[in-house]
Each structure stands twice: as C-alpha cells, then as structure tokens.
Amino acid sequence: MVTVALAGATTGFGLTMLRVFHHLNSEGIKPYKLVLLSRSAQPEWSAKGIDVRPIDYANHSQLTTALGDVHTVLSVIGGDAEAIRNSQLALLAAAKEAGVKRFAPSEYAGTSNEGIDLYAGKAEVWSACQAVASKTGMEVTSFQCGLFMSIFATGTPKPPTPIGLREGAKTGEEEALAGLRPWSFVLNMKAGTADLPGHGTAPIVLTDMRDIATFVYHALSLPIWPEVLGMRGDVKSFREMIAIAERVQSRKILVQENTVAKMRAQAEEDPGKVFYNQVRIALTEKWAMVPDTLNQGFPELKPTTCEEFVEKWWRGVEIGEPSWGEDKSFM
C-alpha cells in the first residue's frame, strides 16, 4: 500500500483534502495509507485510523524520521508567507533525505507565482523542488486549479446538505466555503456587486475545493507525475459569472470596471489590498487558465460547474437590493 503524507491539513483547504481523502479511502476506491503531519496532536484523526505524526519543522532529524516510510508528500501548508516558505523548505529537505519518491508543494492556484508578493515563498519552494528533482529523481508536481469556486459561497444563508453534516458543518456557508475564509473576491454574491479586473472578460478556471481534492486523490495513481498537473472545474469570465448570478438571484448586479493602472495604484496605496489587486491584475493576463491535465486523465470525474455551485447556494435565497456598502472592493 502506498503511504501518502499530508502536511498542513488540519485547517483550510488541507482539511477539506484530508476529509475527502479519508472518505474516498473508506469507500475502498483505492486505499492509501494516510499519514497526517501536524504541528500538534490530532486525536480526532487518530481515532479515525489516520496515522498522525506530530512534527516540528525546525527539527530536521525528527521530520526525516517521520517521513521514513512515506512515498508521496502532499503539502497544503498555509498560514503566512514565511510559513509557506520556511516550513516547506524544511519539509522538502527532510523528504529528500528520507528518500520520498513524490513531492507536491502547496501551490493550488494559477499558472505561476510571479507578480504576487504573497507567493514569493511559493516560487522559491518550487525552484527548490525542481533542484531536488534533477539531483535525486524525486518526482515533483505543481497542482494548479485556478480560483477556488468557494469565493461565490460567502454569505449564503442556506442550511448544510448531507455532505456538510457528514463533515460536521454547522451552516451551509461553512460547508460551501470548505475551509476558505469568508471572502468575496471580485463578485460579492450577497451584496450584489462586482469589482471587475479590467472589463471582466478574461477566462478564469474555477474549481470546487472538494473536486480539487478528488482530482489530487486520483493523481496519486498516475504512473508518472509531470511538472504541472492542472485541473479545471469550469472556465468562466467574471462577466459570465455576473450573468449567472443575475439569473439565479433575479436582480441586477452593480458593476465597476478597473483598469490595470487603477488596480496597481490601489495596491500601492493600501497594503491590505496588495494581494487582491495583484491577483486581479494577473487574472487579466490569463493567470488562472491552468491546464486540464487531470480532466483529460480522469474523464469519469465530473467536476461541479459554476452554474451548479451558484444554483446550489443561492437559488431561492431572499435577497435585498444590491449595494456597494462601505468597501467597494474587498470584504
């Protein structure tokens, strides 16, 4: 049985990945031995049969020992920029020494990390992965999924479905966010506003977070890992998303276009809006048009479309008049 270790899977997207992996494994589709690397004990997961290994990223020999029998390491480490850089470099160094065969760093975004300050550490980690790969033959891959579709979930008042209840979600919003912090990126479904990058016509890959986890689970069985494993839930521009939102919510969305110069100025003026604007600028350059490698490899997987997601979380919701509120761009 192949041993797969997840690092950084106790909150956020990683927790969704762990839950989906555990569920698919328990369905017996293709069982892997799952190891959870965490900075703290996780009795809840130990009780479910997951091999929890508490680790300290500053302790190289302990980390290396923890990876002794591990074939594949999936990092979904988040936190801040420093954690993304330092903890992943430590994890990679230990994986190299332990003879790990496959390593996927915490990428899960667009086609590159250039031009996004928060992702500078990711870029460094990816270069280090490539260096280890060429030196040792370790296979490394960048899983790319575009934007998380959960950005359209923030504010839904719907109750959880059986999937959320299985996972312990108290509200539909918690289920729909799947670990993403409540965040309305560009299109605010609750307020009814869209703060577009450019004219909002650039195509964007958007993927449901549980579908990302499912694609990655299937990717574990690929005979070879190429350097990029892309996946597409759906491809839509924000203009197309506005049309879907208007149809499902039966109201007009308030729209504001932003030139690249305006977004650049916003990033310079407000440190809290650097990431938001750098990603929006990248979107106008088709940053989120990641390849569909895993869709091609696993055509039986039918990921959620944007239309299905918006229908599920916003159809029938009583909603007021659209309003920009105080902050026009970011909540």
> Applying CB under 6 A, which of residues 73, 94, 100, 109 lies at the interface with ligand NAP?
109
Binders of ligand NAP among residues 126 to 165 (CB under 6 A) are 147-148
Burial of 268 (0-12, 13-18, 19+ CB in 10 A): exposed
Is 87 a residue that touches ligand NAP (CB under 6 A)? yes
Residue 171's closest CA among 152, 157, 151, 190? 157
Minimum CB separation from ligand NAP for residue 6, in Å? 9
> Applying CB under 6 A, which of residues 20, 32, 50, 106 lies at the interface with ligand NAP?
106
> Applying CB under 6 A, which of residues 5, 13, 233, 238 lies at the interface with ligand NAP?
13
CB of 245 closer than 8 Å to CB of 239: no
Is 11 a residue that touches ligand NAP (CB under 6 A)? yes
- Rounded to whole angstroms, the Cα distance separating 27 from 73 reads 22
Minimum CB separation from ligand NAP for residue 7, in Å? 7
Minimum CB separation from ligand NAP for residue 35, in Å? 12
Q: Which is nearer to ligand NAP, 227 or 269 (CB)?
A: 227
Q: Which stretch binds ligand NAP (CB under 6 A): 71-79, 134-142, 165-173, 270-278?
A: 71-79
> Applying CB under 6 A, which of residues 3, 51, 78, 171 lies at the interface with ligand NAP?
78
> Applying CB under 6 A, which of residues 6, 14, 20, 197 lies at the interface with ligand NAP?
14
> Applying CB under 6 A, which of residues 4, 6, 8, 152 lies at the interface with ligand NAP?
8
Q: Which is nearer to ligand NAP, 213 or 322 (CB)?
A: 213
Q: Which is nearer to ligand NAP, 136 or 295 (CB)?
A: 295
Q: Which residue has the tokens 């549980």?
A: 210
Tell me, by CB under 6 A, how many residues bind ligand NAP. 23
Q: Which residue has the tokens 């919701």?
A: 317
> Applying CB under 6 A, which of residues 35, 67, 73, 76 lies at the interface with ligand NAP?
76
Q: What residue ranges in the chain does DSSP mark as E strands?
A: 3-7, 33-38, 51-54, 72-75, 102-104, 139-140, 142-144, 147-148, 187-188, 193-197, 204-207, 228-230, 234-236, 254-258
- With vertex at residue 222, the alpha carbon angle to CA 298 and CA 19, rounded to the nearest 5 degrees, is 75
Q: Which residues contact 57 (CB under 8 A, 6 or more apart)?
A: 39, 63, 86, 87, 90, 91
The sheet with strand 147-148 has its strands ordered as: 147-148, 204-207, 234-236
- Rounded to whole angstroms, the Cα distance separating 239 from 286 reads 14
Query: What does residue 45 show for φ and ψ, rounded to 5 degrees?
Result: -80, -35
> Applying CB under 6 A, which of residues 49, 68, 79, 226 lies at the interface with ligand NAP?
79
Q: Which is nearer to ligand NAP, 53 or 218 (CB)?
A: 53
> Applying CB under 6 A, which of residues 2, 81, 83, 222 lies at the interface with ligand NAP?
83
State which residue has the least CB distance to ligand NAP.
Answer: 78
Read off the DSSP letter of residue 272. G
Q: Which is nearer to ligand NAP, 88 or 193 (CB)?
A: 88
Three-class SS of residue 161? coil
- Rounded to whole angstroms, the Cα distance separating 30 from 17 reads 16
Q: What share of the chain is helix, strand, coil (3-state, %, to 5)?
A: 45, 15, 40
Residues lying near ligand NAP in the complex (CB under 6 A) are found at 8, 10-14, 38-40, 57, 76-79, 83, 87, 106, 108-109, 147-148, 179-180
